[in-house]
Structure 1
C-alpha cells in the first residue's frame, strides 16, 4: 500500500512526500484506513518506533475542522519529550493545511504561556496527564466537546502512576467520541481501562503481544555484584562505537554509575528525577547530538525519550517487571535497524531472566565478559580504522612536513607506526594488563532449556575433552580454549559439563571437525588435549565421580547456550 491509496487528503500527501515517506509502516497501513472509514473505538498494539504518531495523527488531521478553533482532539502521552515529539510531527504533517493549530501542554515549564495559547484556540491539544488535568481543573482547557481522544503509550502512563489523572480527564470527555488507545503491551490494567472507557473497540496488532522488537538481540553477562561496573566498562570498551542508554534502578545508582563513567574518561552523563527541566534538556540535547555516547538513566526519567539509532540498551540493573524490560529493549533496533539489549546480572537475578524470556518470547544468549587481550585488540583495530579513514588537509599539513620528517630522521616507518600506536594505545594496555576473568560459572538452576534445532536454529555436536577440574578447566577457560583454537568469534556453545578428569560440551556442528583437528596439537598447562565426538542422541549420563557434588554434574541444571 502507498499513502495515496489510504485516502488521505492532498495537503497531507504532499507534506508526507516532502518528508521523504513513500510507504506506510505496518501499523500505519492498518490504522489509517480504519480511522478514515469508521468511528469505532480502537486498541492498537505496536512497539515504540513503529510510526504510531502518523498512524493516529494523519487521520486526525484529515478529519479536523479548521474553521473552528475549538479543541476537537486530545492526545494524552506519558512524558514531556513524547509530547513535544508528537507536536513536532503534527506540525510537519499539517504544514500545508491552513488554519490548523495544535498546542502542547506539559509540566516543568511556565503554565501561563500554555494558558494563553489555549485561550487563542487550537484544534488538537497534546499533553501529559498531570498538566492536562491541572488545566481542566482551572477551567482553561475544555474537553467537553472533543470528537477524538488518543491515549498514546497508555501502558507507560499507568506505569508512571497517572491512573487517577487519566480517570479524571476521561470523566470530563463526552460519552460520544472515538477513543484510540495505543500501547506496546497489554497488562491487565490496560485491559481494564479498555473495558471501562472504550465501546466495542476493534483491535489491531503489529507483532506479538508483550513481545520485544524482532531485530533486537538479547545478551546477558553473569558476574558477581561487585564486578558490575567493571563489566559495564568492558562492554563499553569492547563496542567502541556504541551509542547506548544504560538503565539503573535508582537515582542514586544512576548518579554513581554516571560519575564513575565520567571520571574514567567516557562521554557519559546521568538522567534522573533530581534534575531540573533545564538540566534535563541540556543532557538530552547533548545525547541526541551524540556529544554523549552513554546516557545513564532511570526508567521514569527515560520515559518517552525518542532517540534514533541506539546501538545498545544496557540493563545495569534488571527491572522487576518483564514489561519494563520490553520497553527498554524496544528503544534500540528501531526503523528496521538492528540493536542489542544487554543485561548485566548476578546469580540471584538469573531467575528474572527466565521470567522475562517467557513473557517476551525472546531467546537470551549468554555472552562471556571479554578479557583484556580481546578488548585491546578491538580498541587497536578501532584506532587504526580511524587513522585510515581520517581526511587529510594537504595544504594545511604540507608546510609542517619538513620539520616533522627531521624529527623522524633515523626511525624506520615501522618504528614511527609503533610510536603513534603506543601514544594512543598504552592506556588500554596498562589498564588491562593482567585483567581478571569477571565471568561467574553459573550453577544454572534457572531451568533454561536449549532449543537447538527448531526453526532453523543452531544444530549442536556433542564433544568430549580429556580435561576437567583436575586440570583447572572451567567453563570460561574452555570457551577461551575453543576461541584460541578456532580463531573465530561468535561460535555458539551449548551445554557444558565440567567433571573431574574430563568434560562434555556442545558446539555449533559447523565447527566440530575443525576444532577436533586443531585440538590434536593443543595442550592445557602441559596436558595434551584430545577432543572427540560423543555418540548417541542424548547428553551422556555419567556416574557421579567420587568427591564431586551433585551441583557440579549436569544433572544439577542445564547450561544455557552461549556465544564466545
Structure 2
C-alpha cells in the first residue's frame, strides 16, 4: 500500500516522501480514501501518535487545493478549513506538519493561531489571507470577536484530540465556534478515546457520521508494555529513582497529579543529579518554551509534568511514560501512555502506586484492554550491573577516528598506566564512573513493596539471618543496636549517634542496616565502652540498646523489646545525671537527634 494508491495527489506525495514516509500507517489507510471521496462527517478513534495528523491533513490539503483550482486558482483570502486542537504545542505541531505536506501547493497558506503570542501579528496575517487555520479555541474566539477571523467559507472542520478538549473544559467554546461555521460544512472528529461528551457532539453537530476505529474502542497502543509497582507512599520517590537508574537510556515523561508535586519531584531529581525539569501551569509561556526546547533536543532525559501541561506535546522517540500515581480518569492513563511507542516503535508505561489503587488498575485494564504486569523493583545490584554493562556497550560503540592530539598523548598515557594490569584497569575505570551509585545502593533505605495481599514488606528483611551471623573483620567487634532504617537511621546518623554518646573518637567499621535494627563494627578494645556508654542514653523516651551481635543471635527481636521506652520523660540524658550537670558537660544529644527522627512521638513504632 502506498499514498499514491490511496488517491493522494502527486505534489503531496512528493512532500510526504521528502519527510521520509514511504507507506501509510493503519489509521491513514482507513481514513484517507473516505475523505478523498464524497464529502462526509467522520469520527476516527485511534491512539495518540499513530499518524492521525496525516490521516486528516493530506486529504484536507488536497481538497482545499482542488476547491481553489475550481475557482480559477486564485485564493479568496478566506479560510476554507479549520483545525481545532487543545494546546499551543499541538497547534504548532499540526501547523508545521501541514506546512511540510503542502510544500508543493503554493496556493495553500496555513496559519497557527494560539494564545501566548502576538495577536496583532496573527490579525495582520489573517487579513492578508489564509486557506487553513489551525487554532486553539480560546484564541480563535478572541479573533472572531475582533472581526479578524471569518469562518463563512469554511467547508471542513477538524477537531483533533477532541476528548482532550472536552476534558480541558472547551465544550462551550466548541459550541460557539461551530455555531459560526456554515451548516453545509463537514465535521471530522479525531480522538484517542470515546467518552460520552464525544457522542454528544456527534449527535448535535454531525450528520450520519462515518465511524472508523483503529484497534478497539478506547484501546491503548499495542506496542506499549505496561508495568506497575506497589510501594508505600513514603517510598515512591526512591522507587522512581530505581526505575530511572535501571533504564540508563531513559527518555521519558513523569506524570504527577498536582503542580506542587510536579515541581517538588523535579527539584529532587535535579538535586540528585538527573537531567530533569518541570512543566506545569504556573510557568510562563517563555519558561514552557525553554523547558520543551531542552526536552526536544534531549538536553533533558526526564520531564516531570502535570496532565494539563503535557496535553498536546508531540515529542518523538519517548522510551518511557511514568505515572507517579494513577490519574483520576482512565482516559488520562491512555493519553499519558500514548506519548510513547509512536510511529510503530516500542515503549514502556510504568505506574508507581499504593495498594489502594489496585482496583483502579483493574478498571484501566478492563477498559483499555491493556495487560498491566506487576513487577518487583530492581535491586541495587541489578541496577549497578545494568549501568556497568551500558557503559561497556557505549565503549564498544565509540568510533575510532584519527586525532593528532590524541595520537601524540597515547604513548605517554600508556607509560603512565602500564603498571596496572588489564583487569585492574577495567575495574578502576568502572569505579571511577560509578562509585557514587555503588555506594548509594549499598546503603540505600529499604523500600517497602506490597505483596499480593497488599501488605507492605521491606526489601531488606530477607537479609536478616545473613547479616546477624556475619563475621567481623579482624580486630573489630560486631555490635547490635535497636534502631534501623524505619527510624531513619542511616550510616551518617549512626556515626553521629556514636560520637555523641561515647567519649573520644571511636573507630567504626562496616555498618549493616535493616528496617528495625542495625549491626555495626567497632574496634574490639572499644566495644565494651561503646555498649556501656550508648546503652545509658535515650532518644525521644526510647532507650538505646547496644550489645554484642553474637549474643543477640536469632533472638534479636526479643532483645529489642527489652529495650522498649521507659516511663522516664527526661529524654536524651544519661540515666541518673542531673539537668544542670548535663548542661555543663555540653550534652543535649537528643535535641540534635531529631534530625533523623522527625515524626511525632505518638507515631513511634514500639517493639
TM range (shorter): 0.7 to 0.9
Question: Corresponding residue for 1:91?
Answer: 99
**How far 1:409 moved relative to its partner?**
4.3
CA–CA separation in structure 2 for the residues paired with 1:184 and 1:16: 24
Q: Is the 8 A contact 2:448 2:458 kept in 1?
A: no
Task: Name stretches of at least 5 consecutive residues in structure 1 with no aligned partner.
Answer: 447-471, 479-564
* Alignment pair present for 1:397 and 2:403: no
What is the alpha-carbon distance in structure 2 between the residues aligned to residue 98 and residue 245 of structure 1? 38
Aligned position for 1:273: 281
1:453-468 to structure 2, matched below 5 A, reads none
Q: Which of 367, 374, 378 in structure 2 is aligned with 1:366? A: 374
Counterpart in 2 of 1:203?
Answer: 211
2:439 match:
430
Aligned equivalents of 1:132, 1:476: Cα separation in 2: 60
Contact in 2 for aligned 1:77/1:129 (Cα 8 Å): yes
The alpha-carbon distance between structure 1 residues 78 and 473, as it changes in their structure 2 partners (threshold 3 A), is closer
Aligned residue in 1 for 2:148? 140
1:22 and 1:403, CA in 2 relative to 1: closer, same or farther beyond 3 A?
closer
| Secondary structure of residue in 2 paired with 1:433 | helix
Q: Deviations over 1:47-89 (max 9, x none)?
A: 1111111111111111113422211111100111111111111
Residue range with higher mean Cα deviation, 138-147 or 294-303: 138-147
The more displaced of 62-71 and 148-157 is: 62-71
Show the 5 A alignment for 1:226-265. Answer: 226-265=234-273
Aligned mates of 1:204, 1:144 — CA distance in 2 = 28
Higher relative contact order (CA 8 A, sep 6+): 1
| C-alpha contact (below 8 Å) 1:347/1:442 kept by paired residues | no
Residue matched to 2:21 = 21
Distance in 2 (CA, whole Å) between partners of 1:411 and 1:143 is 76
In 2: Cα distance, 1:475 partner to 1:39 partner: 65
TM-fit CA distance, 1:413: 2.4
TM alignment of 1:381-396, pairs within 5 A: 381-393=389-401, 394-396=403-405
Identify if the C-alpha distance between structure 1 residues 131 and 431 changes in structure 2 by more than 3 Å, giving closer, same or farther.
Answer: same
- For 1:444, the equivalent position in structure 2 comes to 453
Distance 1:474 1:141, change over 3 A: closer
User: What's the offset of the Cα at 1:473?
Assistant: 12
Alignment partner, residue 7 of structure 1: 7
Equivalent of 1:339, from 347, 353, 370?
A: 347
Q: Count residues in correspondence.
A: 453
1:218 corresponds, among 191, 215, 226, to 226
Tell me, yes or no, if structure 1 residue 58 matches structure 2 residue 58.
Answer: yes
Residue deviations 1:298-338, cap 9 Å, x none? 01000010111111100012101011000111111111111
1:378 partnered with 2:386:
yes
Question: Residues 449 and 458 of structure 2 are in contact (CA less than 8 Å); yes or no, is this contact kept in structure 1?
Answer: no
SS of 1:141's equivalent? Answer: coil
Question: In the alignment, which residue of structure 2 is the partner of 1:406?
Answer: 415
Residue 77 (str. 1) matches residue 85 (str. 2): yes
In the alignment, which residue of structure 1 is the partner of 2:291? 283
Contact residue 368 and residue 476 of structure 1 kept, 8 A? no
Q: CA deviation at 1:226?
A: 0.3
1:124 maps to 2:109 = no
Deviation at 1:475, TM superposition (A): 12
CA distance in 2, matches of 1:112, 1:136: 13
Q: Is the contact made by 2:449 and 2:459 (CA closer than 8 Å) also made in structure 1?
A: no
Find the aligned partners of 2:90 and 2:454 in 1 and give their Cα distance: 41
Structure 1 pair 475–409 and aligned structure 2 pair: CA distance change class (3 A): closer
Deviation at 1:416, TM superposition (A): 2.0
Unpaired stretches in structure 2, ≥5 consecutive residues = 69-73, 464-607
SS of 2:253 mapped into structure 1: strand
Q: Deviations over 1:118-137 (max 9, x none)?
A: 11100110000110111111
Across the aligned residues of Structure 1 and Structure 2, the Cα RMSD in angstroms comes to: 2.0
Distance 1:279 1:342 in 2: 27
Q: Is the 8 A contact 1:249 1:319 kept in 2?
A: yes
- Please identify the structure whose Cα radius of gyration is greater: 2
Match of residue 490 from structure 2: none
Aligned equivalent of 2:427: 418
